[in-house]
Amino acid sequence: MTLLSRGVLGLAIGLLLAIPVSAETLTVYTAVEAEDLKRYASAFNEDHPNIKIRWVRDSTGIVTAKLLAEKNNPRADVIWGLAATSLMLLQSEGMLQSYAPKGLGKLDTKFRDSANPPSWTGMDAWIAAVCVNTVEAKRYNLPTPTSWMDLTDPVYKGHLVMPNPNSSGTGFLDVSSWLQMYGERGGWQFMDNLHENIAWYTHSGSKPCKQAARGETPIGISFAFRGAKSKAAGAPLDIILPKEGVGWDMEATAIMKGTKKLAAAQKLVDWSITKKANKLYNQGYAVVAYPGIAKPVKHFPTGILDAMIDNDFEFAAVNRRSILGQWQKRYDAKSEAK
């Protein structure tokens, strides 16, 4: 039995030592799709083998909320791949370290914070789209929607899923684009009507499209990149860009103020705007920050550049809190009463 107790002691000590301590590990918060993270990290490590990345991944809204909640005791060193509107919010809270990465001049000027030095730099644009499962649409006799307004037609009642903007960045860019397109009153009116058709609100922005891909619900409001991926995996999907235009947001990179590993963080941000990195982003995203390298993405809907609305990021970032509060009051509560 002494052997057993010695083993227990050994395990207990081992347990305490198991807490990792490594100097060159960056804690990177991200909302990038999980399947891409490994690729990003290993490409980065080809050039910087001595900087390890420790990912903390979640939906856009959650990463944002987490960063805000940790404001007084930040745990992240770098944010790589979070909505620009969220970064603008963090910037207004004074949480970002401004830095001009090497090669900044080569980026499309739309894809950077206009301040100098900028507090964030863009990576790619991620664009709303509607995923329609053709097999299920036929089964339920649903006409293919061509506009956002179409989706409020009672024929779609219960066949529609969209992400909850409080947790999902995709959900938020949808809501913010509707408010920009239809104005304050018109936008909420549209969402009131849409709400009648929504089967449920999901936590993540990719889930509506994945559910549409599986035919669990015929139509999912999601983003184009996810739709293209599911289509490539063999799902019978049509990826629709509603004719009024689609909302979009940038994925962007920033350094947290107060990080103890500033040098490593700057190296990562330098790398994140290189041509190589942008080519990586292009594997999923049709529009990237580095001009002239984007190749068309398979299954990606055509005409996406024309469909993207003239997004007012300032509006979205400044009003983020009040929009989300309003949304929750209207629909989180109402989803119960039904």
Partner 1 sequence: MNSAVSLSMSAAPPAQRIRLSLDDYALRTGLIILIILLAISVVFPLYSLLSKSLEDMDGKFVGLQNFREYFETPALFTSITNSLGVASSVALIVMVIAFVYAYALTRTQMPLRWLFRGIALIPILAPSLLAAISMIYWFGNQGVLKSWLAGASVYGPIGIIIASCFWVFPHALMILVTALSTADARLYEAAEALCTPKWRVFWTVTLPGAKYGILSAGFIVFTLVITDFGVPKVIGGRFNVLATDVYKQVVGQQNFEMGAVVSLVLLLPALLAFIADRWVQRKQVALLSARAIPFQPKSEPLRDGLLFVFCAIVAVILIAMLGMAAYASFVTFWPYNLTLSLKNYNFDVMDGGGWEAYYNSIRMAIYCAIIGSGFIFFGSYLVEKARGITWLRTILHLAAMLPLAVPGLVLGIAYIFFFNHPDNPLGFLYGSMGILVICTIVHFYTVSHLTCLTALKQLDPEFEAVSLSLKTPVWRTFQKVTLPMCLPTLLDVASYLFLNAMTTVSAVVFLYSPETMLASVAVLNMDDAGDIAPAAAMALMIVYTSAIFRVFHALLARKLNRRTQVWRHK
Chain residues that interact with partner 1, rule: CB under 8 A = 1, 5, 7-8, 11-12, 15-16, 18-20, 33-35, 38, 54-57, 61-62, 65-66, 68-69, 73, 135, 158, 164, 166-167, 199-204, 206-211, 214-217, 233-236, 332-333, 335-338
Say if residue 213 is exposed, middle or buried (CB neighbours under 10 Å; 0-12, 13-18, 19+). buried
Torsion angle of the four alpha carbons 320, 185, 307, 127, in this order, in degrees rounded to the nearest 10: 30
- Nearest distance from C-beta of residue 309 to partner 1, angstroms: 26
Is omega for the bond preceding 163 within 30 degrees of 0, making it cis?
A: no
Closest CA to 29 of 255, 247, 205, 307: 255
Minimum Å gap between C-beta 312 and partner 1 is: 25
Q: Which is nearer to partner 1, 302 or 335 (CB)?
A: 335
Question: Mutual orientation of helices 169-197 and 84-92 as an angle, nearest 10°?
Answer: 110
Nearer to partner 1, 168 or 274 (CB): 168
Closer Cβ to partner 1, 47 or 332, answer by number: 332
Please identify, using beta-carbon distances, which residue of 204 and 272 lies nearer to partner 1: 204
Residue 71 CB, nearest distance to partner 1 (Å)? 10
Asked if residues 32 and 226 have their Cβ atoms less than 8 Å apart, the reply is: no
Least distance CB 292 / partner 1 (angstroms): 30
What phi and psi, each to the nearest 5 degrees, are found at residue 32?
-65, 145
Nearest to partner 1 of 23, 69 (CB atom):
69
> For partner 1, which is the closer residue by CB, 10 or 186?
10
Amino acid at 302: T
| Least CB distance to partner 1 at residue 276 (A) | 21
Question: Which stretch of DSSP H or E encloses residue 209?
Answer: helix 207-214
E-state strands within 37-164: 52-57, 78-83, 96-97, 121-133, 160-163
**Residue 269 φ then ψ, to 5°:** -70, -40
Nearest to partner 1 of 213, 289 (CB atom)? 213
Between CA 62 and CA 59 the distance in angstroms is 5
List % helix, strand, coil for the chain (3-state, nearest 5): 50, 20, 35
**The two structure tokens encoding residue 107:** 């980026």
Residues in the chain: 338
CB of 116 to partner 1, least distance (A): 32
Longest dimension (CA), the chain: 75
Task: Write out the two tokens for 109.
Answer: 């000027």
Q: Report the residue number, 39 or 243, with the smaller CB distance to partner 1.
A: 39
**Nearest distance from residue 121's CB to partner 1, in Å?**
24
Residue 134 C-beta: closest distance to partner 1, Å: 11
